[in-house]
Amino acid sequence: MALISPSRRLRRTPFSDGVEAAGVKAYTVYNHMLLPTVFRSVEEDYHHLKQAVQVWDVACERQVELRGPDAGRLVQLLTPRDLRPMLPGQCYYVPIVDETGGMLNDPVAVKLAEDRWWISIADSDLLYWIKGLAYGYRLDVLVDEPDVSPLAVQGPRADDLMAAVFGDAVRDIRFFRFAHLDFQGHDVVVARSGYSKQGGFEIYVEGSDLGMPLWNALMEAGKTMDVHAGCPNLIERIESGLLSYGNDMTDDNTPHECGLGKFCNTQTAIGCIGRDALLRVAKEGPVKQIRAIAIDGPPVPLWDRWWPLLAGTTPVGRVSSAAWSPDFGTNVAIGMVRMTHWDDGTELTVQAPDGLRHATVKETFWN
Ligand code: THG
């Protein structure tokens, strides 16, 4: 592929100078912003992520901030997850659905206060849907995209690196909870979360000027811990079953098709815009669903489209993400598979760009 031309529309991040100094080799575009995808190589980055600690520029996980007395009501309009048990200081992974029950995004909701929320979005322009709802429902709430950029610290040594910069208080933060901590006299939100299953944190940096000082402090403190710049890793996230909106699912899919039923309480999520549609389809249950898939043969090539899944010559699904896993000695993949063929161990054929391959549906992901 040719290079992508830089422009003001393809937004840099507060950490881009650090990312470039660390030798970034490739980017993707996410929420109209640069997202690094490779530093040394996808495989080297993968091994390092599982052994040490990495600092990730995930500023492209933009925040939609809701502020005002109707903020809580507005968030519940968006999602079939029941938000009543959620307290300030908690994060929830929330499927967002439209009036047909189709997935519009799969963000992390951060409840800062009863009347102040961040919706940390995946790659779709959710801001406009939320602004439209706030206006249409005449809600008393401000909706905007603040100057807040997440920086992730991921890997088995993440606790030690974070403690070196923020103090031992970070060790007490529980999974999907956050604390307000001090960095150089600035209050930052630090959550135990992130787009890997290696453990770690996300720091929500308020104010672009704080970006490079924080990046540099983490790199400096991590010198003895083999810290390196990293990024969400294709191999690790497929092994871990972390979904990628726009790749593994779109607005054509319900949360149940995506295996996100465990994050839905459609019966009690009163107010959710997609509730009636989801209750209707829930009666039947999904007829296709996301599955882990092992693909035989040598390392698969990079993909930028669906690969058909066949039973004999009959199409029964499609693979949306795939990569060679060094640790599992097979290609790992995520795909959408029809009910008739989604059972564990079902043997299928995948039509990869370099030819037909044998594939096996898995009950669970690898991690
Ligand atoms: N962190 C933050 N914002 C984000 C992402 C993130 N926005 C974009 C994208 N990632 C949204 N998608 C996901 C997908 C999975 C998870 C988080 C965001 C995730 N899932 C865990 C799982 O499925 O096992 C845990 C979910 C839970 O138990 O609640 O972490 O990464 N800020």
**CA angle (269 as vertex; 268, 273 as ends), nearest 5:** 140
pLDDT of residue 146: 98
Per-residue model confidence (pLDDT) at position 194: 98
Taking the alpha carbons at both ends of the chain, their separation in whole angstroms is 32
Owner of token pair 């009501």: 73
pLDDT tens sequence across 194-209: 999 999 999 999 999 9
**Residue 226 pairs with which residues in a beta bridge?**
none
Q: What is the rounded CA–CA span in Å between residue 238 and residue 257?
A: 17
pLDDT bin (cut points 50, 70, 90) of residue 35 is very high
The DSSP code sequence of 68-84 is STTHHHHHHHH-SS--T
Count Cα neighbours of 107 within 13 Å in the Cβ-side half-sphere: 30
| Cross-strand bridge partners of residue 350 | 309, 357
| 87 Cα to the center of ligand 1, angstroms | 18
Residue 282, Cβ density class (10 Å: 0-12 exposed, 13-18 middle, ≥19 buried): middle
Is 361 a pocket residue for ligand 1 (Cβ < 6 Å)? no
Closest CA to 25 of 15, 35, 8, 38: 38
Given a contact cutoff of 8 angstroms between Cβ atoms, the answer to whether 23 and 39 are in contact is: yes
135 CB-near residues (< 8 Å, 6+ apart): none
Cβ–ligand 1 distance for 202 under 6 Å, the answer yes
Residue 282 has pLDDT above 90, yes or no: no
Are the beta carbons of 285 and 256 closer than 8 angstroms?
Answer: yes
Q: Is 120 in the pocket of ligand 1 (CB under 6 A)?
A: yes
DSSP 8-state code for residue 300: P
Average of per-residue pLDDT across 167-176:
98
Distance, in Å, from the CA atom of 11 to the CA atom of 209, rounded to the nearest integer, reads: 16
pLDDT at 77 over 80: yes
176 lines ligand 1 (CB under 6 A): yes
Overall size of the chain counted in residues = 367
Residue 201 neighbours by CB distance under 10 Å = 22
Non-local CB neighbours of 295 within 8 Å, separated by 6+ positions: 319, 322, 330, 331, 332, 333, 350, 352, 357, 358, 359
pLDDT confidence band for 43 (50 / 70 / 90):
very high
Q: Is the confidence at residue 219, as pLDDT, over 90?
A: yes
The one-character DSSP state at 216 is H
Residue 367 predicted with pLDDT over 80: no
Closest protein CA for atom 32 of ligand 1: 120
Domains and CATH numbers, the chain: 16-62+147-237 (3.30.1360.120), 63-144 (3.30.70.1400), 287-367 (2.40.30.110)
User: What is the sign of the dihedral through the CA atoms of 16, 212, 222 and 61?
Assistant: negative
Distance 195 CA to ligand 1 centre (A): 6
Ligand 1 centroid to residue 311 C-alpha, Å: 32
Cα 159 from Cα 170, distance rounded (Å)? 7
pTM above 0.75, yes or no: yes
pLDDT value for 9: 98
Q: Which of 123, 133, 127 is nearest to 99 (CA)?
A: 133
39: tokens are: 């530093």
Q: What would the mean pLDDT of 31-35 be, rounded to a whole number?
A: 98
Residue 307 is predicted with a pLDDT of 98
Expressed in angstroms and rounded, the spacing between residue 109 Cα and the centre of ligand 1 is 10
Above 90 in pLDDT, residue 1? no
Quick check: helix, strand or coil at residue 325?
strand
What pLDDT does residue 19 have?
98
By the 10 Å C-beta count (0-12 exposed, 13-18 middle, 19+ buried), 113 is classed as exposed
Question: Please, are residues 336 and 260 in contact by the beta-carbon 8 Å criterion?
Answer: no
Best CA proximity match to 280, nearest among 268, 264, 267, 290: 267
Q: Residue 61 CA: which ligand 1 atom is closest?
A: 7
